[in-house]
Structures are given as structure tokens and as C-alpha cells.
Amino acid sequence: MAIKKVSLITDGSCLGNPGPGGWACILRFGGAKKELFGYDPHTTNNRMELMAPIQGLLALKEPCEVEITTDCEYVRKGITEWIIRWKSLGWWKKDWSVRHADLWIELDELTEIHRTTWLWTKGHAGHEDNNRCDWLAQNAARTQTSSFPDGSPHAPLRHALGADYVPPRPQASLFEE
């Protein structure tokens, strides 16, 4: 059976930074389209930008080939470039932990399930689905509403480490001189 090809378009929003936030994503498979959105009462824009692709990937019921479009270079570069070093250092950068490590860990695990390709698009520049995600994310931030029937802010995360999560400090080598 051939692996299914899915498009995932994402965006996040925050009213103030920190402040009330919203995230949104659009999934496309064949002729089907699914819009998801949610919120966080007190967050940052970067957390919402990360939550959007996490929620989109969590919505997939089987491993897929996923082309992910974001207008956030922090997310695109983080997951395609910086994460390699972060993981090798136990989610630490010199004397401080990687910011939003809880969400990077979630996103990293999901990208190991799916074959992902990451694309960047300029925000507010005519990409129809990105513009729609922008509106959905801003509206979710303003109204603190979600697309989930029970009104929860997002689907359950695999690890649910939380915004205050700090990874354990890596131990020094036993053999360093």
C-alpha cells in the first residue's frame, strides 16, 4: 500500500507576547480539507507556532508523507536544522535549556512517525491556506475557542510535559580531562 501524501498548513498567533494565543492548521488529502484550531490563555507566539504543526500531525491516523507549510522560520529551521544539536546536547544550549523543549520533543517524535518536508511561505502574502490559518489562529486567540467538540484547547499531547518543563541537565562524561 502506498503512503498517503498530505499537505499541512500551519500558523500561530498571540495577542501580546506573552498573552492569549491561538493556533490553527489545515490538512489536505486528495479533495478533503480539515481545519483545526485551538487556544492557550497565557502563552507566547512561538509556542502557538509550534502547537499548530503538532496538532496537525497528531490528527493523522497513520504514518503519511506530509508537506508542511509554515510562515515561521523559527519552527522550520528549528525542526530541520537546530534540533540535531539540541538533541545531541540533551535539549540544552550551553547553560540553559532549549526554550519550549516540551513542544520540540513532541514535534520531533511526530516527525519520526511521518515523512515530513518543511516549506516556508511569507505570511500575509497571498498563500490562501496560510491566510486562512492566520485568521483562524487570531480568532482562536481572541475568542479562546477551539475546533474540538468538547472545547478543549488542543488534542492531548503524547508527553504532556507542560510549558514549565526543563529537561534534566546532561551529566558530564566520566572520562573528561
DSSP E strands: which ranges in 19-144? Answer: 19-29, 32-43, 65-70, 92-93, 96-97, 115-120
Residue 168 lies in a domain: no
Residue 22 lies in a domain: yes
Q: Is 62 within 8 Å of 110 (Cβ atoms)?
A: no
Grid coordinates representing 5 are: 501524501
- Give the pLDDT confidence score for residue 125 in this predicted structure: 83
User: Which of 1-5, 23-27, 135-139, 148-152 comes out lowest in average pLDDT?
Assistant: 1-5
Number of compact structural domains in the chain: 1
Residue 155 lies in a domain: no
Nearest to 133 by CA among 24, 13, 22: 24
Residue 167 clears pLDDT 60, i.e. is over it: yes
Residue 152 lies in a domain: no
Q: How many CB atoms lie within 10 A of CB 59?
A: 14
Q: Which domain holds residue 111?
A: 5-143
Mean pLDDT of the chain, nearest integer: 95
Residue 80 lies in a domain: yes
Residues labelled catalytic: 11-12, 49, 71, 124, 134
Q: How confident is the model at residue 158 (pLDDT cuts 50, 70, 90)?
A: very high
CATH number at residue 119: 3.30.420.10
Residue 82 clears pLDDT 70, i.e. is over it: yes
Residue 41 lies in a domain: yes
- Give the pLDDT confidence score for residue 62 in this predicted structure: 97
Residue 46 lies in a domain: yes
Residue 170 lies in a domain: no
Model pTM score? 0.95
94: left (phi over 0), alpha (psi -120 to 50) or beta: left
